[in-house]
Amino acid sequence: MVTGSGARPASGVTTSPASGVTTSPASGPTSSPTVGGPSRRSAAGAGDRTQTAWRLPLTVLIVGMFMSILDISIVTVALPTIQNEFGASTSDAQWVVTAYSLTEGVVVPATAWLGDRFGLSRVYNLALLGFAGGSALCGLAWSLNTLVIARVVQALLGGILPAITMAILLQIVPRDRLGAALGMYGLGAVVAPAVGPALGGYLVEYVNWRLIFFINVPISIVGTVAAILVLPSFPRRTGRRFDVLGFLTVAGGLFTLLLALSKGEDWHWTSYRILGLFVVSALCLALFVVIELEIDDPLLDLRVFRYWAYTLSLVLMSLLIVVLFVVAVYVPQFLQVAQGWGALDAGLVVLPPAVVMGLLMPITGQIYDRIGPRWPVVCGLAIAAVATYLLHTITLDTSRDHLMWLLMLQYGGFGIGMMPLFSAGLAVIPPEYNNTASAFNNVVQRTAAALGIAVFTAILTLQQAQLLAGRAALMPQSAPVPHLGPPGTPDWTGLYALYHETELRVFVSAINNVFLIMAGICALGVLGALLLRSGRAPTVPAKTISPAPPVSPPAPANGQPDDQPKLVPSVGTTSRPGLPPENS
């Protein structure tokens, strides 16, 4: 029995804050501790330790998750070098990135079942070791084909690390500390993509591109040892069946969707291959929804979307992910293509804004724990909308410092709003949906990032073509052609310089239009954020054992009364009846 604050416990009921278990004797009075006595003080101390015991395990988890996310962005910088070393085309070298994304999209939906079946800690450790092994294979690759195969191996296990990390976080962190915990989690999830281009550019330019993979091996091994020593054991569901049909349909739907989004520009968006992939993806995902709603033990329980706050947070998070990734892709392109900076210099421009975002996340997480998500998200998205609108005014002559300050303002807005938005959805999820909610979060984030980059790449290409055609139409047909040397000899050098200058200005104008659309998306997110709750998160009860109806117990064989206490889980415990411990 759990009593409210200030209420007097029922006779014979004692509660242990440290364990979260309420002991209720079947009969017989028990003496309660004296107010302010040693028992009360020791219980309070145990409760305080419980409120902070999650910090060390979460720190260990961030290391593994940081490495898996870092490896996505760090490889992009090395693609030109890999292409030259293996003598491959640009489209073939792009498969080094595409293979990882496709494999990750296939395995992430299975993380909920893997965590239930084998235990979250065991899956995390095996995934981190598998990521280290795949990274070593990537560093030893002797051809482009072997590198792509090694990337698939790397993603098979390492790709599920973010989802497993989130599931463990939801198990070990009290709900009233969720904002602070997700603020720490955001340090790895957000800083890693920003550190990747700078670190990758340095290693590729001054050391060797293979080191971007080898560096993962010792860090992953150390992280695995630390996880074995620090992470607790979690209950398993040994009797849960694997939903084969659900896995095949969702994996097929995500694979074809991500492949179409990745190759749409190369294979042409209106080609039969791309349109066919979209059709297959839609059919597979629709069939997945039907299957999951009909079976008793689904791979991903779609009933999690009954919680409005969770669904709203996913929608708004998708908008933020689109803006964040599109800006992160096109700002380095602007610096390199339009202004001629190197990859390392372009990566260093994005690094300080990411640091600002990472520093703000733990602070806003604690603010969320006190006042709720509505006003932090509204303020954060409003700041991001203003900064993104200012970004659409950049020109060829914009300095790197000015661009960096605008990015710091934009990333600061994201840092204020992102973690409260993330926490708002997860705070209402009951513990039995933790693994499913974590899997859906990662699937939606990766799909939104791929969809945003693909859609706005198509918009950018279309804008460039239209703007270039418009400028060509402004030139009169009888415009004089510059000459060099004897009359009648065209100055092709001058013509090429004029065309190149026009092309760069068109490219910048197209990027400005994309940033203007991004500002509109942020403003739309502000309106959606007004629908979020204000105030502390509601208490989400864990699974508890319903008390049996009061019946007379049978007399024991020895004729003595049954005075043994019965353990009943109280609110906040993550244990579930009938589940063996992970190490059993």
pLDDT of residue 35: 41
Between 98 and 342, the higher pLDDT residue: 98
**Fold entry, domain 51-236:** Growth Hormone; Chain: A; (1.20.1250)
Secondary structure percentages of the chain, helix, strand, coil, to 5:
70, 0, 25
Q: Is the pLDDT of residue 512 over 90?
A: yes
Average pLDDT over residues 352-369: 86
- Judge whether 227 and 121 are in contact, CB under 8 Å: yes
**Fold entry, domain 304-472+494-540:** Growth Hormone; Chain: A; (1.20.1250)
Distance (Å, whole) CA 108 – CA 439: 6
Between 174 and 237, the higher pLDDT residue: 174
- Judge whether 63 and 219 are in contact, CB under 8 Å: yes
**Exposed (0-12), middle (13-18) or buried (19+): which is 24, by Cβ within 10 Å?**
middle
Beta strand 21-24 pairing with 14-16: antiparallel
Q: What pLDDT band is residue 509 in, cutting at 50, 70 and 90? A: very high
pLDDT of residue 94: 81
Q: What pLDDT band is residue 384 in, cutting at 50, 70 and 90? A: very high
- At residue 21, the 3 state secondary structure works out as strand
Distance (Å, whole) CA 282 – CA 261: 13
Average pLDDT over residues 385-401: 93
Q: What is the pTM of this model?
A: 0.74
pLDDT of residue 27: 38
Between 334 and 483, the higher pLDDT residue: 334
- Judge whether 467 and 510 are in contact, CB under 8 Å: yes
pLDDT of residue 486: 57
Q: Do domains 51-236 and 304-472+494-540 have the same CATH topology?
A: yes
| Tokens read off for 63 | 């290391």
The ranges assigned to domains in the chain are: 51-236, 243-298, 304-472+494-540
| Tokens read off for 114 | 């893997």
**3-state SS, one letter per residue, for 390-415:** HHCCCCCCCCHHHHHHHHHHHHHHHH
- Judge whether 412 and 383 are in contact, CB under 8 Å: yes
Which residues are registered as beta bridge partners of 24? 566
Q: Rounded to the nearest 10 degrees, what angle do helices 120-139 and 111-118 cross at? A: 120
Average pLDDT over residues 32-60: 54
